[in-house]
Structure 1
């Protein structure tokens, strides 16, 4: 029997750092299944998304590399106008987490959001997944399944489908079905929920779906209570998936990771941080991060290890005994030493950049270097997690050193194309931060 682990990577969309009970939810949020997942595994207090918005983080996840290496990831985010464009997406020739695991004998499936380029040039089945059920683009309505161009975006494989139901529940059902099938080989299941991304609709809000029609980014919609229900529906679905794993004797040797593609949105709780999606402040990039593998890692632990989206490709490959493609070495690090010994911390630097507001950031130890709108900031996150005390004048030597390190890193990355899309509405407002 093949004793290599199964892998399930669960990705929420626009979830705030403190939206889960196990990360300090303050507003009555109920996430018992995710809290149980954290109690049985390792909780990362310093988990980061590779980007402050959706598709760039997904490029980093699937390749294990800084998203800036690929032209499609320069879009902030990948827009619907990318449809039909051969340069805006994940090249099928690029090695990916699913393609490397598939070539090593794994079954692979994506259930949920893709957002890495459109057919005919790009798609999940072209980049290593054997099966796909979900949405090719960004946000869709939870009931009508249309995107903000009015196009229905729910697919089974490469064929558009018209399955009726609340999207979060449809994705849960398909994921549970996948793990319930007989698998003669280990599997990778990528479960990428659209929740709690706008439009803000809970399971009992079908009338709201009819009201907003194609206006998915509804400035007058949603509420904290609706948002909490959306998170709760996702948590319920994860509970069903965990129950299915246990029922089929798969829970002990299944390696599960849960995180978000970027920081929180309008109704999210990012406490104790400031900022939100589209910001390189901590609220836009610090995300809840949980890993559990009963047969292979510590349980009930917490770690301050700085970890990012791109780390999970090399980590999964390490756990499976698979070697990365030498021509595309990961920028992410293998976290298995930390998962086995949560008291251990690996030193590393993390870099971010965005065309939006000319943002730049570097996290190194307790220090963070940040540029926004032409202004430089230096924060000590251990002493000031809310990034309120700018130490740039007080510590000019540290500022200069971190600026130099960032510049040296950026010189190794392709430049941002001048025509790269920045996520703004037609009125100029931040698409991620309406109102």
Structure 2
């Protein structure tokens, strides 16, 4: 299939317009995937083993971005950036733990759309911070959503969703002190109530999403559909799928049989011979549910009045066999593979179709873009940009001039083709078994997208300029995060490799 490409040069498109009125504002559906690889979209044409026909169809009905970024290389912080439309560091979130959006005093994406007349539903995984239950701001019903079905667990078991399973697991684990984090085997939340369920989480979330659309199709609605696919643990597939594809049933951890971390590492790259097949199985169900949702919206006759956005929450997790080719790195790191994500924006009849964009955009652009199609002003606190002028071809050069990232042990800044990346700690690399090279690195993402060449020594002016941008940005953050390496660090940059 031939695609037109939106690039940084001028581009002439046929005029399109979004009709926004008090009587009929466009519906908005935001779909978030979890830990999906940059290359794990068959429309990318990178991996032969990937098949995502429904996501490919959605891409053909809109614009697919090749330089879209999450605001963080991990789930909870990136999701804070999505829902608030700002760098999550502005309210103290830069890594696991922390308060989530509880310290964010401005309205969320959902609260702004509710004020604009939307009925809001949240389906799926919620992961901001702690505390996160009913009555706290991290709970969807407390930051602008009218309905919620899902789970506040970082991990959600794909197949088991009842209290009896949690009780049995806790009893079996009584004499084993090994940490297991949260397996998410418990009941879902239906509003504030708990609900035991049977079935696969991806399909349950898809069904609940279609039900919300059915009940709200006569008025403007905003649906936030947050899948836990393709997050760990991808071996949790329906038995019929395992049988069909000749895959072994890799059991969950048995506390009586072995230490948790022994089991954990056997399930992950490079130790699981079926690891990639498990991952692709979860991707199959994710793609299937996206297709069912789009078909449903079409069948209701509201597709042309519905903006659909599909985005990954952070870079692909290589330990669970996600692929980020040609990008280096994984979730947990600030290599491109940890932060660059799939992004598709589609509304046939109002926005151009079958487009590919290389413009640099971010997850916190979603809030301004949604408000734009809703006919609302973008709040001054937003760090994102309204992408509608880019999508419609009115401003084809529109993109971020500078983007920043910061975790506990890394920070990076991108301007144009250049990226400055510093690593001054181990981060999650030792536990998650991902690559993380220490030092100061200047990369050219156009000539070296795999980030193998360090240009720091021969480009001292660019190094200093990007470092200055980042220091100025860090100065705007809370004092608890206002730590910056010494100026001598630039002189200590490693030589080109």
TM-score, normalised on structure 2? 0.77
Which range moved further: 298-307 or 87-96? 87-96
Among residues 43, 49, 73, which one is paired with 1:22 in the alignment? 43
Q: 1:62 to 1:48 in 2, by over 3 A?
A: same
Pairing 1:140–2:156 present: yes
2:459 to 387, 395, 415: 395
Report the secondary structure of 1:176's partner residue. helix
Residue 318 of structure 1 contacts residue 334 of structure 1 at CA under 8 Å; is this kept in 2? yes
Q: Is the 8 A contact 1:19 1:29 kept in 2?
A: yes
Matched residue, 1:218: 264
Question: Are 2:119 and 2:216, in contact at CA under 8 Å, matched by a contact in 1?
Answer: no
Deviations 1:58-93, CA, capped at 9 Å, x for gaps: 11111101100113x23x223xxx7xxxx4543585
- Are the counterparts in 2 of residues 14 and 197 from structure 1 also a CA contact under 8 Å? yes
CA-CA distance at 1:294 after TM superposition: 1.2
**Where does structure 1 lack aligned partners over 5 or more consecutive residues?**
419-435
- Give the secondary structure class of the aligned counterpart of 1:332: coil
Q: Which residue of 2 aligns with 1:285?
A: 339
Given that 2:158 and 2:202 are in contact with CA atoms closer than 8 Å, whether structure 1 keeps it comes out as: yes
Structure 2 residue aligned with 1:121, among 126, 130, 136? 136
* 1:252 and 2:304 are equivalent in the alignment: yes
CA gap of 1:334–1:299, structure 2 versus 1, over 3 A, is same
Deviation of 1:296 after TM superposition, in Å, equals: 2.2
Does structure 1 residue 7 correspond to structure 2 residue 41? no
Classify the secondary structure of the residue corresponding to 1:212: coil
Uncovered stretches (5+) of structure 2, i.e. residues with no partner: 1-21, 167-179, 243-247, 425-437, 483-497
How many residue pairs match? The answer is: 405
Q: CA-atom RMSD, angstroms?
A: 2.3
Say whether residues 1:353 and 2:387 are aligned partners. Answer: no
Query: Aligned match of 1:64 in 85, 96, 109?
Result: 85
Judge conservation of contact 2:474–2:481 (CA < 8 Å) in 1: no
Contact 2:316 2:331 in 1 (8 A): yes
**1:198: which partner in 2?**
232
In 2, are the aligned partners of 1:304 and 1:345 still within 8 Å (CA)? no
Q: Which residue of 2 is the match for residue 407 of structure 1?
A: 471
SS at match of 2:331: coil
* Compared CA separation, residues 208 and 157, structure 1 to 2 (3 A): farther
**CA distance in structure 1 between the aligned counterparts of 2:46 and 2:141, rounded to whole angstroms:** 37
Contact 1:196–1:230 at 8 Å: present in 2 too? yes
Judge conservation of contact 2:443–2:455 (CA < 8 Å) in 1.
yes
Matched with 1:301 is 355
Change in CA separation of 1:183 and 1:23 when aligned onto 2, cut-off 3 Å: same
Note the C-alpha offset of 1:2: 2.7
Which residues in structure 2 correspond to 1:35-434 (within 5 Å)?
35-71=56-92, 73-74=93-94, 76-78=95-97, 87-91=99-103, 93-117=105-129, 118-119=132-133, 120-122=135-137, 123-145=139-161, 148-149=181-182, 152=186, 154-200=188-234, 201-204=236-239, 208=249, 211-212=252-253, 218-221=264-267, 223-265=275-317, 266=319, 267-326=321-380, 329-341=381-393, 344-347=396-399, 348-355=401-408, 358-373=409-424, 375-416=439-480
Q: What is the Cα deviation at residue 167 of structure 1?
A: 0.6
Cα-to-partner distance string for 1:272-297 (whole Å, 9 max, x where unaligned): 01100011000000111111011321
Q: Distance in 2 between matches of 1:339 and 1:310?
A: 16
Deviation at 1:298, TM superposition (A): 1.1
Cα distance in 1 for partners of 2:181, 2:208 equals 24
Q: Which residue of 2 aligns with 1:432?
A: none
- The answer to whether the 8 A contact 1:302-1:342 is kept is no
TM-score by length of 1: 0.88
Deviations 1:385-415 (A, max 9, x none): 0011110011111111111111111111124
The CA distance in 2 between the partners of 1:258 and 1:231, in whole Å, is 14
Aligned-partner Cα distance in 1 for 2:282–2:60: 22
C-alpha displacement of 1:5: 0.9
Contact 1:136 1:153 in 2 (8 A): no
